[in-house]
Amino acid sequence: MRMIRILPVIAALGLALAGVTPAFAIDIKEVKSKSGVTAWLVENHSVPVISLSFTLRTGAVTDPKGKEGRAEFVAATLDEGAGDMESQEFQGRLEDLSIRLRFNAGLERFSGSLRTLSENRDEAFRMLAMALNKPRFDAEPVARIRGQMIAGLKSTLQRPGTIAGRAWYRAVFDDHPYGRPTGGTVDSVGAITAGDLKDFVSNHLSRAGMVVGVAGDITPEELSCRLDQIFGTLPKGGKAARVAAPKLQAAGKTVVIDRNVPQSVVIFGQRGIERDDPDWYAAYIMNRILGGSGFSARLMEEVREKRGLAYGVYSYLNPFEKGGLIMGSVGTGNARVAESLRVIKDEWRKMAENGVTAEELQNAKTYINGSFPLRLDSTRRIARILAGVQFNRLGIDYLNRRAAIMNAVTVDDIKRVAKRLLDADAMTVVVVGKPKGLQSSP
């Protein structure tokens, strides 16, 4: 069992970590089960709560063509009956014991979370194990969830933001799995059968590459046994998501989708950076200064504060296993879209040419390092962060090293990375609305 202590001072985490004080460090313990499942644990017996979070390296990238939305469908139905318990009984039992059980599917990850009172741990862990190992996928809940998903799609697919986002990914990734909608379409969700859901569970829910984070009222010895109870009978290996590196399309292109709305929604972006790239942290801070830090960001200052062109504008890093993007969005009146884009691209170019100032860098570091401990305010969040750190392969000592990593980034680092990454002329832009003076590229 490995153990590491998180040293940064945390002023009364509160909630499920009410017993942690500035003088009390947090121990991260690496716990292994007999079946080979590994978890990171933050043990805390000051409150009777246990939170568990796990993530698998699979997701919507495995959705068969024409059945997009399958992974999300699975996530929505795993807790709709399992083992000898039908949906109503399963859900009722969770509610009666105040057990919170959730599953989520993303493009390249499938995750689950459990939160329970300590006194209900036996039933909580049993029900999680059943949901993963013996899901029922009965006709009634499958039909009900399908109806909910289709109703949600019919609503969201009318929203300019959804239209813009889907069109952007399709333009950039074409028929690559990254370009297909994780939530599917009305037709694709309608085509998914219970057999398709069972196929995902059989082939993709496995111990291979699984990461687990746990926090709260449980000992390492008990957790080791619980890991086997929950995950030990899952297949040791599943079908890996074989995704080729995509060839990005539409660089420098503008796509205008005509919709009769008073305000256009704009999605913009270009090739970015992968999470394991050595320049990730410089890129992360660069983006925070450019468009990721609210009112102090350059884009917000230039677009909103100085010119009043939009209420909000932002940018963000979007990493994948096989590449990455730097993206952003702005919503503005149709008459102001062209000028807003001009200002955004100008700021893109300025950052690429000049980087950031020493003051901007120091302010960004102060915020990043100062705000992070506030994310450790409950067992639920700690468990999720522990799983996330493992998923990104950052090392068990990452939380202890994080501030030093950020502080090591220099002005020269950001200038170099900005020049490497930012190219306003390569930006792909999708606009949904009636933007005055702006048309699709030939």
Determine contact, residues 365/407, Cβ cutoff 8 Å. Answer: yes
Quote the pLDDT of residue 294: 82
Task: Name the band, by pLDDT with cuts 50, 70 and 90, for residue 442.
Answer: confident
Of the given ranges (8-12, 134-138, 262-266, 415-419), which has the lowest mean pLDDT?
8-12
- Greater confidence (166 vs 27) lies with 166
pLDDT at 4: 53
pLDDT of residue 8: 38
Bigger pLDDT: 358 vs 242: 358
- CA distance linking residue 198 with residue 401, whole number of Å: 41
pTM of the model: 0.91
Nearest residue to 252 via CA among 56, 38, 442, 5: 442
Instruction: Report pLDDT for 237.
Output: 84
Task: Give the pLDDT band of residue 7 (cuts 50, 70, 90).
Answer: very low
pLDDT for residue 409: 98
Question: With 90 as the cut, is the pLDDT of residue 146 above it?
Answer: yes
Three-class secondary structure of residue 17 per DSSP? strand
Q: Which residues pair with 215 in a beta bridge?
A: 42, 51
Q: What are the pLDDT digits (tens) for 371-386?
A: 999 889 899 999 999 9
* Segment holding 414, helix H or strand E: helix 411-421
Pair 148, 252: CB distance under 8 Å: no
Structure tokens at 304: 């909103």
66 vs 4, residue with greater confidence: 66
Assign 275 a pLDDT band (cuts: 50, 70, 90). Answer: very high
Query: CA dihedral in degrees (393, 394, 396, 402; nearest 10)?
Result: -170
Q: For a pLDDT cut of 70, what percent of the chain falls above it? A: 94
pLDDT the model gives residue 10: 36
Q: Is the pLDDT of residue 26 over 80?
A: no
> Do 55 and 83 contact (CB within 8 A), yes or no?
no
227/212 Cα distance (integer angstroms): 9
- pLDDT, residue 198, reads 97
Residue 429, token pair as written in the block: 């832009």
Residue 20 reports pLDDT greater than 70: no
Residue 13, pLDDT above cutoff 70: no
The DSSP bridge partners found for residue 42 are 28, 215
Q: How would you classify residue 157: left for phi > 0, otherwise alpha for psi between -120 and 50, otherwise beta?
A: alpha
Rounded Cα distance between 399 and 402, Å, is: 5
Residues 6 or more apart from 170 whose CB is under 8 A from it? Answer: 179
Per-residue pLDDT reduced to its tens digit, 79-106: 999 999 999 999 999 999 999 999 999 9
Ranges of H-type helices in 114-270: 121-133, 139-156, 160-173, 186-191, 194-204, 220-231
DSSP 381-409: HHHHHHHHHHHTT--TTHHHHHHHHHHH-
Cβ 144 vs Cβ 248: under 8 Å: no
Q: pLDDT-derived band of residue 351, with 50, 70 and 90 as boundaries? A: very high
Look at residue 23 and tell me whether its pLDDT is greater than 80.
no
Q: Using one digit for the tens of pLDDT, what is the confidence trace for 277-310?
A: 999 999 999 999 999 978 899 999 999 999 999 9
Helices 398-408/358-371 angle, 10° precision: 170
Q: Does position 22 have pLDDT exceeding 60, yes or no?
A: no
Instruction: Give Cβ neighbours of residue 12 (< 8 Å, ≥ 6 apart).
Output: 18, 20, 21, 22
pLDDT confidence of residue 11: 33
Phi, psi (degrees; rounded to nearest 5) at 439: -130, 165
Residue 253 CA, distance from chain mean position: 27
pLDDT tens profile 27-63: 899 999 999 999 999 999 999 999 999 999 999 999 9
Q: Write out pLDDT tens, residues 246-255.
A: 999 999 999 9
> How far, in Å, CA of 311 to CA of 290, rounded?
17
What six digits make up the tokens of 284?
Answer: 């992360």
Q: Which domains does the chain possess?
A: 2-231 (3.30.830.10), 254-373+393-433 (3.30.830.10)
